Amino acid sequence: MLLLRNLKPFFRRKSHYSFGILSRATTLPGEITSEFHEICCRRTFWSSTSSCNEMIGLSSSNSRNPFFFHNVAEFCTLLGQEKADELLDNAAATSGSDRGKEAKYTTREMVDFTQIHINKLPRVLIMGRPNVGKSALFNRLIRRREALVYNTPTDHVTRDIREGVAKLGNLRFKVLDSAGIEAEASSGSVLSRTAEMTGNVLSKTQLALLLVDARDGVLPMDLDVGKWLRKNAPGMKTIVVMNKAESLDDCDGTIASAAGEAYRLGFGDPIALSAETGLGMAELHETLRPLLEEYVLQNNLCADEEVQDNDSSSEDMDCKLPLQLAIVGRPNVGKSTLLNTILQEDRVLVGPEAGLTRDSIRAEFQYEGRTIYLVDTAGWLERTKQQEKGPASLSIMQSRKHLMRAHVIVLVLDAEEIANTRRSMKHVEVVIARRAVEEGRGLVVIVNKMDLLRGKENYKLYKSVTEAVPQEIQTVIPQVTGIPVVFVSALEGKSQIAVMNQVIETYEKWCLRLPTARLNRWLCKVMSRHSWKDQAAQPKIKYFTQVKARPPTFIAFMSGKTQLSDTDLRFLTRSLKEDFDLGGIPVRILQRTVEGNSRTSTSSKNKQSANRMMERVVSDKRTILAVENSSTT
């Protein structure tokens, strides 16, 4: 630990105390000298404004060796020797020309990454062998816990490519989390397919972060990953990151030994950090900044963004809101295949293995001018003792979270299993559908794998499935009538239009707003055709209005003490869905009681307030008179 104080000659302000972690320069035999330096202290120690300033200070222990602090993007960094010499020369020149002024060193941001469109940001891929902390670093960069993190040395938690926007100081870039790579995986296995998917994504990225475990050192599997990277992306700029370095210390030489092993990979100076605690993120920022700025300036992304802003200003500002779409269902029903079909690309890993998807993968795409966020969730399983712990429990929790966020939920069923069991929905699927209805979400049912029921021998079976499924769904979920059912085959790749048209139609119904005048005209017709048991005790609805959408919610203002019964509410709900075509979405009707004539109520209130005012005035006069009498006597 280093105690910094008495810096008045350099900062011209009151002395402060601040603690930080300061490492020394490490010289490796036969290798380039590498400086791993970082100091964590208060930002207000050297910066009184929001701008980034470079300051100079002297160590009290050794006044001959000055050290330099650099405030960049809210990080505290110890500058290198070359930068320190440059600042000393500038300070000497400035003091010689103008001694009365204080030397100031400011850093100018070359690129403002916040002004670049999200689809044009540079892409950085996190890769390495399994269980080195790739998902933890991904969560640290995007500042959210999106990727599943679980310590499983013998298993692979991450299997798909997850994408997010990283916020590292003033840097903005797209970061991709990949599955662990094993070069010796057998062909056709899950690991070989994940490696192939990582190779396809690697060709579309600009930088790669190769993670190794600093505690274990460089293992033969890490060397294999390095060879695999050189083979699949020869010209890729790669940065070696030694993760899990919070337990290493420079005093006993553990960081030096770990860095010496990392040089065996042949990708230059490594960076030591801890994705769990955030240690070393300033060094990562300083390493990534010149590379990302060079890419942005070479591709002239800032200029393209300005032209895009000028074009967008002339367009109509009434844009459509993004649609949150979640694909849910039991394992091995074709959810991931359906997502690839909708996106028209191999976005997630598919295969015959059940439970292949663990992470909920979120993808963004455009459909008919509308932005849609599509989420592929892990398969829902019935709760067992084995699933109370481990990655399976985390997957189920993540699927439930995305179900709560979605606007429209696509429930996928297996046509072959329906034909074999003579039953449309199992208990888990009924639970999913009812939960979607209770949360007020739009519901679309997709019956997948219909290609397995085609042919002359399966004609009757195919027809019976198409007729029985909608009826059975309506029986199981009576709260919502008219739930749309689409019969597709995601493997053939021809079901995108049918599925998305039904999803868009359900979403537009979910966002529908009806004017009050139209609703009251409809109410008069509906109340006249309803058969009441007792005309004298018939509830009287003063007026009917919609108070919110998403889902449509209505309020019936009742005059009198008689309320609508459950039968009457079901009748109004069914009539609303039939007359305004609101099938497939939940409709809510609330009741409010309105008091009697408003004129009489207001006049009575005015009389009561007037009487209260008279009483107050009289009491005041009495008190005044009493005071006067007492004074005269």
CA gap 401, 415 in Å, rounded: 27
One-letter amino acid at 95 equals S
- The enclosing H or E element of 412 equals strand 408-414
Confidence of residue 394 (pLDDT cuts 50, 70, 90): confident
| pLDDT averaged over every residue in the chain | 75
User: How far is CA 574 from each of CA 55, 218, 533, 549, 579, rounded to the nearest angstrom?
Assistant: 72, 66, 19, 17, 9
Binned at pLDDT 50, 70 and 90, residue 131 comes out as confident
pLDDT (0 to 100) of residue 187 = 58
Query: Which single residue is written with the structure tokens 């309803």?
Result: 530
Percent of the chain with pLDDT over 70: 68
What CA–CA distances, in Å, run from 61 to 54, 76, 139, 540, 543?
A: 22, 21, 39, 88, 82
Query: Which residues, in sequence order, are bridge partners of residue 444?
Result: 410
More confident residue, 321 or 591: 591
Residues 153-164 pLDDT 10s: 656 677 788 899
Q: Which two tokens stand for residue 31?
A: 């290798």
**Pick from 145-149, 184-188, 274-278, 355-359: least confident:** 184-188
Confidence of residue 399 (pLDDT cuts 50, 70, 90): confident
Lowest mean pLDDT among 197-206, 325-334, 477-486, 611-620: 611-620
Q: Output 262 or 79, whichever has higher pLDDT.
A: 262
pLDDT of 501 reads: 94
Whole-structure pTM value:
0.71
Q: How far is Cα 41 from Cα 199, in angstroms, rounded to an integer?
A: 40
pLDDT of residue 546: 95
- The token pair at 630 is 């007492």
Summarize the chain as % helix, strand, coil (round to 5). 40, 20, 40
Distance separating alpha carbons of residues 282 and 75, to the nearest angstrom:
6
Is 31 a residue whose pLDDT tops 50?
no
Six-digit token pair at 147? 């990727």
* SS3 category, 558: strand
Residue 476 identity:
V
- Give me the pLDDT at residue 181, please: 84
Sign of the alpha-carbon dihedral angle for 39, 42, 45, 50: positive
Torsion of CA 264, 267, 268, 272, to 10 degrees: -80
For residue 152, what pLDDT is reported? 66
Q: Is 126 helix (H, G, I), strand (E, B) or coil?
A: strand
Mean local confidence (pLDDT), 511-521: 94
